[in-house]
Amino acid sequence: MTKIIIPYTTKTEVSFTMNSNSSEKVIREGPAEICLVNDKVFYNPVQEFNRDLSVLVLNVFLEDYKREKLEFLRKKGKINDSESEPKIEVNLLEALSATGLRSIRYAKEVPSITKIVANDISESAVKTMNINMKHNQVDHLVETSHDDACMLMYKHKVPAKRFAVIDVDPYGCPSIFLDACVQSIQDGGLLLVTATDMAILAGNAPETCYSKYGAISLRTKSCHEMALRILLQCIEQHANRYSRYIEPLLSISADFYIRVFVKVYSGAKQCKQTTSKLSMVYQCVGCDVKTLQPLGGFKPNPTDKNPNEIKAFLPSGPPVGTHCAHCNHPHKLGGPIWSAPIHSQSFVYGLLEHLAKGTLKLGTADRLDGMLSMVVEELVDVPLYYTHDKLFSIMNLKTMPMMLMRSAILNAGYDVSFSHACRVSIKTTAPSQFIWDILKTWAKSWPAHPARLESNSVAKAILSKEITSAVDLTERPDANPFSRRSQRLRFQYNPEPHWGPGSRGAVNVGQAKTAKAIRNQNKHKKQCKRPCPQGEESERKKTNISEDDAV
């Protein structure tokens, strides 16, 4: 018996056990074990965070889902308070199961689920799943399916057959599954969608992004949040075709993918409000300032019959001139993106409370706590963000300390937060003019080098304008958010071994790594730019705190 241990950044160790008499391999994650008979084991330990987060979300969501269903039955008069509460059926579909690890974990760690359908189009994958379900003793709860994912979902379009939860975690773009997803999920049901084609969503191929998601992506420092908002608008567009709409509960950008958790409802009236939730994005090619143009809006239209009536209107535009007001450069146009909130703050608080109870033994619990703590601090009504390094790079200025920048914004009466998607993000209600005023004030004490400024037309244009608002650079304690003060594990230090989708995440058990793979492992890993005090470097590695968090 040969056992190979692959260290990982969480407290969990991923173990591969190989029988000397057979080619069978066993992978353990949490309470689940999966057996494979193929020579190549496709298992990505970095995705444990994805699965842990899904388990946590389902446990919290299903409590609310069952409560909503019972309240609905009471309103309809189908049950009385004197009667015992009926059992609410919760059927879950994992449309692309592969080994079945995710379904097994759901079966073992989410007690509210009554039935799971684990589907895959690969016959060998289904055979492997059947072995795994019996091995984990969950075959009474999990039903395997060998079918095309879309065709399987289309067979469940009838309301009585719809799923309460659908999980779609493909390799690449999920858009081909969304039409079937929004038709085969119950009212108030949860849709979990992953996208790993981040190059397309992040602006490297805007024309491809439009063909897949119906939106133009832009190359910008806030590309990870924009990717989330493009995916959300794509799901909403698919849902609207069937008089349905979405309510985002949690939207996460992590590692090499994005993952969204949305509730799906029916309602033609609510679908009309979609235009107020979507916006086009004007991006200045010089200073990178982004201005949003909503596709529609609503305003009060009181009448004698209905004093609370609202009326839809089309906003006038564009909101920007032919050239940027700050640097006199032209704009690019992207979108539409989802410009409404991408999280439900109350739901995320529920996730943190459930995580704090410790009833779930999750290997990535520290990272979950850190990321969710950042999510609840995010400004919900502020789409996209600036990045600290980009702002000062544009101006060729010495970088101001982050806490001083945040203090200046707070001193002016504006709100500011980080984004979970970027460690140097600045999400704020302050107008872009005030952000440049902060940098111009800073430039008086730390001016740009004249030679660099001469060749930088953007910085010259911005610095040539007068400061229009008073800037107070007095540092204040509340500029440092709680998640940072309490040293939460807010950002993962990537890339780790086997970091990435597809073959990058494949672990070849029992086979030596090729020389090229060894040579290229962590090739682009960023090195710390400052020497670490004695003992700090080892402590940082042990706690997995990034350099920016350690400062």
pLDDT of residue 37: 63
Beta carbons of 327 and 461 less than 8 angstroms apart:
yes
pLDDT of residue 310: 85
Q: Please, what is the end-to-end C-alpha distance for the chain in angstroms?
A: 45
In a domain, 458, yes or no: yes
Rounded mean pLDDT, 328-336 = 96
pLDDT of residue 237: 97
Beta carbons of 199 and 205 less than 8 angstroms apart:
yes
pLDDT of residue 451: 84
Binned at pLDDT 50, 70 and 90, residue 548 comes out as very low
Q: Hunting for tokens 């969304």 — which residue is that? A: 178
- Domain co-membership, 221 together with 115: yes
- Please state the domain count of the chain: 3
Residue 78 is part of a domain; what is its CATH number?
3.40.50.150
Contacts of 464 (CB under 8 A, 6+ apart): none
Backbone angles phi, psi at 338, to 5 degrees: -75, 115
Binned at pLDDT 50, 70 and 90, residue 415 comes out as very high
pLDDT of residue 308: 82
| Residue 126, pLDDT above cutoff 60 | yes
- Domain co-membership, 254 together with 389: no
- Domain co-membership, 35 together with 129: no
Backbone angles phi, psi at 51, to 5 degrees: -70, -40
In a domain, 120, yes or no: yes
Binned at pLDDT 50, 70 and 90, residue 343 comes out as very high
Binned at pLDDT 50, 70 and 90, residue 302 comes out as confident
- Domain co-membership, 63 together with 162: yes
Backbone angles phi, psi at 228, to 5 degrees: -60, -45
Q: Hey, which bits of 349-421 come out as E strands? A: 386-387, 416-419
What are 390's two structure tokens? 């980009």
Rounded mean pLDDT, 4-23 = 43
547: part of which helix (H) or strand (E)?
helix 547-550
C-alpha pair distances (Å), 20 with each of 132, 500, 510: 20, 30, 11
What are 105's two structure tokens? 């974990």
Lowest mean pLDDT among 16-20, 199-203, 268-272, 412-416: 16-20
In a domain, 293, yes or no: no
Mean pLDDT computed over every residue of the chain: 86
Sheet of 32-36, strands arranged across: 2-6, 14-18, 25-29, 32-36
Beta carbons of 161 and 189 less than 8 angstroms apart:
no
The per-residue pLDDT for range 263-297, each reduced to its tens digit, is 999 999 999 999 999 999 999 999 999 999 999 99
- Domain co-membership, 424 together with 521: no
Tell me the C-alpha distance between 353 and 356, whole Å: 5
pLDDT of residue 534: 42
Beta carbons of 223 and 205 less than 8 angstroms apart:
no
Dmax (CA) for the chain in angstroms is 83
The per-residue pLDDT for range 49-92, each reduced to its tens digit, is 999 999 999 999 999 999 999 988 888 887 876 667 788 999 99
- Domain co-membership, 217 together with 141: yes
pLDDT of residue 144: 96
Q: Which residue segment(s) compose the domain that 534 sits in?
A: 2-44+508-550
- Domain co-membership, 114 together with 169: yes
pLDDT of residue 45: 75
- Domain co-membership, 80 together with 6: no
H/E/C letters for each residue in 106-133?
Answer: HHHHCCCCCEEEEEECCHHHHHHHHHHH
Give the 3-state secondary structure of residue 77: coil
Q: Report the interhelical angle of 206-213 vs 223-240 (nearest 10°).
A: 30
The per-residue pLDDT for range 365-394, each reduced to its tens digit, is 999 999 999 999 999 999 999 999 999 999
Tell me the C-alpha distance between 398 and 443, whole Å: 8
Cβ neighbours around 253 below 10 Å, total = 22
- Domain co-membership, 8 together with 86: no
